[in-house]
Chains A and B, each alone.
Chain A
Amino acid sequence: MEKIEAIIQPSKLDAVKDALLEVGIEGMTILEARGHGRQKGHTEFYRGREYTVDLLPKIKLEMVVPDELAEKAVQAILASARTGKIGDGKIFRSRIDDAIRIRNDERGSAAL
């Protein structure tokens, strides 16, 4: 099993969700997040006072998928979330030891 974490532009959420559904990923968790990588923030002015906003709103998706689906999921996210500009986000992959469904103790891939 693999965990895929993707940080994407908020405007791309629907497209990414649809693309993941198409390759057969049915479960995911979505978080509203703030952060920045290489993308610079912007400046705001309130009554002449200047504020630098460097933490920008992002969406973070998390999903744990069976090994055979992992690369497909990554490709789906890459294809649907890319605009080609700085700030498109990142994908992180990591190994998962186990998954347990709380309702009935199912374990491993069956719990996904």
Chain B
Amino acid sequence: MLSGCAAFAQTATTADQLAKLQAQVAQAQSAADNCWMLVSAALVLLMTGPGLALFYGGLVRRKNVLSVMMQSFAMMCIITVLWAFVSYSLAFDSGTAFIGGLHHLFLHGVGLTPDPDYSATIPLQTYMIYQLMFAIITPALITGAFAERMKFSAMAVFLSLWSIVVYSPMAHMVWGKGGLLNAALGGPIPCLDFAGGTVVHITSGVSALVCALYLGKRVGYPREAMPPHSVVLSFIGACLLWVGWFGFNAGSALGSEALATSAFVNTHFATAAAALCWAGAEWVHRGKPSALGAISGAVAGLVAITPAAGFVEPMSALIIGALAGLVCYFMVVKVKSIFGYDDSLDAFGVHGAGGTLGAILTGVFATSAINPIFKDAKGNPLPSGVVDGNWAQLGHQFVGVAIAWTLSIVGTFILLKLVDITIGLRVTPEQEIEGLDVTQHGEEGYEMAS
């Protein structure tokens, strides 16, 4: 009798200890995941400022350098406030198939406990702030299309509305609970988009094209020479983008497990291949490989691997990057001059074209060996992309691409029209010739007299 009691007590103690141990293990994993996700969030912010600000800043003429930098920086501030008030809820609250609900307005219910639908191991606020960094860079990318000619006020209003009308619905469809295209949470048309090929790059790139067409050319384009005022600034910016993109893609694993490594490796490989191909194409075509060509190629590779980063093998990443380098080179160097639109900094040629290519190639190269995202009822992995034999995925990718293109074209056009008839989009020709730094901000990037 006495010995029985002792055995029972011992069992109870063991069970307690086990439970305690399990809690500690969960806590340790949560700490590791949260650590990587906070670093990733900071890396993605680094992509906008200073990464994109320097990249774009160097590509414009010296009289407009501050205006484009300020546009990126304005997104860091404006989109943040909007995100807290309304756009996070519209993207990530469970709502309809197309847009999120309003339960998370003013971050209501977005606390420090995880939401298992998004990530079981990181605080929901970590997820929210990480996603915010994506919402910031996406409209900032569009500024490349209307650089050197749009009013600051018009830019601020247009991109704020754009973030709500185009970005939030697209993010909801692909990543939100109940979203039409959400592959991770059983959406009806599962479109594979690991880190934002459709959500970030197609939306920004295609909207950029609409902006370039709607606003028209810069005064003097293409008759006047408008070479970049400092490829040095662009070079530093592009290298920061490359580094920051590890947070963008590897962070999209939403934890620090092996999948993050896969996305990290793929991101790096695709970027190198794309830079080599763009610069190589120039070398063959023009006789010299340029620094601007190499960094433009790198960005094209980063864009194209974004949707595929957590789904493909490293060798596939090299192929995706190489194709992105060549296709984007062709888009920027040939197609733009054939059609004659003035996409000042090639936001469409790189992000629109690279994003579309990447989204489609994701359907080709995605494999369940890397990421078993589709499972049968018993939990066994199902084929992912064409390399696994799942041709249907290619169709789903095309649907995702088509929705992103349509939403971007229609949403951007309506918003531009709205801002145009209310406050006007363009600066006057005189202001444009004088430069946006002086006319919009009352300052100059480079003070000559001091």
Q: Mark A residues whose CB is within 8 Å of B.
A: 44-49, 51-52
Contacts of A47 in B (CB 8 A): 292-293, 296, 332-333, 346
The listed residue (B228, B288, B333) touching A48 by CB distance below 8 A is: B333
A-B contact pairs, 21 of them (CB 8 A): A44-B227, A45-B282, A45-B286, A45-B288, A46-B228, A46-B231, A46-B290, A46-B292, A47-B292, A47-B293, A47-B332, A47-B346, A48-B332, A48-B334, A48-B336, A48-B337, A49-B222, A49-B227, A49-B337, A51-B225, A52-B225
- Give Cα A48–Cα B293 distance, bound, in whole angstroms: 9
From residue B212, how far is it (CB to closest CB) to chain A in Å? 15
Q: Interface on chain B toward A: helix, strand, loop, or mixed SS?
A: helix
Interface centre among A44, A47, A51, A52 (most CB of B within 10 A): A47
- In order of increasing CB-CB distance, the 7 nearest A-B pairs are A48-B333, A51-B225, A46-B227, A51-B227, A47-B332, A45-B286, A46-B292
Instruction: List chain A residues, Cβ under 8 A from B282.
Output: 45
Please give, as numbers and ranges, the residues of chain A lying within 8 Å of B332 by CB-CB distance: 47-48
In the bound complex, residues from chain B placing their C-beta under 8 Å from that of A45 are: 282, 286, 288, 290
Closest to B231 in A: A46
Among residues of A, the one whose C-beta sits closest to the C-beta of B286 is: A45
Interfacial chain B residues near A48, Cβ < 8 Å: 332-334, 336-337
- Which secondary structure characterizes the binding site on chain A? strand
- In the complex the two chains form, what is the Cα distance from A41 to B286 in whole Å? 17
* Residue from B222, B227, B282, B286 with most neighbouring chain A CB atoms (10 Å): B227
Q: How large is the interface on B (under 10, 10 to 19, 20 to 34, 35 or more residues)?
A: 10 to 19
Cβ of A52: which chain B residues have Cβ within 8 Å of it? 225
Nearest B residue (CB) for A48: B333
User: CA of A46 to CA of B228 in the docked complex: distance in angstroms?
Assistant: 8
Contact with A along B268-307 (1 / 0, CB 8 A): 0000000000000010001010101100100000000000
**What are the residues of chain A within 8 A of B290 when measuring CB–CB?**
45-46
Interface string of B332-373 (1 = CB under 8 A from A): 111011000000001000000000000000000000000000
How long is the Cα–Cα vector from A47 to B329 in the complex, in angstroms?
8
Q: CB-defined interface of B214-254 with A at 8 Å, one 1/0 digit per residue? A: 00000000100101100100000000000000000000000
Kindly state the separation between the CA atoms of A44 and B222 in the bound complex, as whole angstroms: 15
Closest to A51 in B: B225
Bound: A48/B278 CA distance, A: 11
Residues of A within 8 A of B228 (CB): 46
Chain A residue nearest to B222 (CB atoms) is: A49
Distance from B197 Cβ to chain A, minimum over Cβ atoms (Å): 22
Residue from A49, A51, A52 with most neighbouring chain B CB atoms (10 Å): A49
How far, in angstroms, from A51 to B226 measured CA to CA in the complex?
A: 8
Instruction: For the complex, give the distance between the alpha carbons of A47 and B337 in Å.
Output: 11
Docked complex: B394-412 residues within 8 A CB-CB of A: none
A53 and B179 alpha carbons, distance in the complex (Å): 53
A46 neighbours in B (Cβ, 8 Å): 227-228, 231, 290, 292
Q: With A and B bound together, what is the CA distance between A47 and B333 in angstroms?
A: 6
The minimal Cβ–Cβ distance linking B192 to chain A, given in whole angstroms, is 31
Other than A46-B231, A52-B225, give 8 A-B pairs with Cβ distance below 8 A.
A45-B286, A46-B292, A47-B292, A47-B293, A47-B296, A47-B332, A49-B227, A51-B227
Smallest CB–CB gap between B446 and chain A, Å? 15
Q: How far is the CA of A52 from the CA of B290 in the complex (A)?
A: 16
Residues of A within 8 A of B296 (CB): 47
A48 vs B228: C-alpha distance when bound (angstroms): 12
| Min C-beta distance of B238 to chain A, whole Å | 13
The residue in B225, B286, B288, B292 that gathers the most chain A C-beta atoms within 10 A of its C-beta is B225
Q: How far is the CA of A44 from the CA of B228 in the complex (A)?
A: 11
Chain A neighbourhood of B334, CB < 8 A: 48
For the complex, give the distance between the alpha carbons of A48 and B227 in Å: 11
Shortest distance in angstroms between B62's beta carbon and chain A's nearest beta carbon?
Answer: 15
Give the chain A neighbours of B346 by CB distance below 8 A.
47
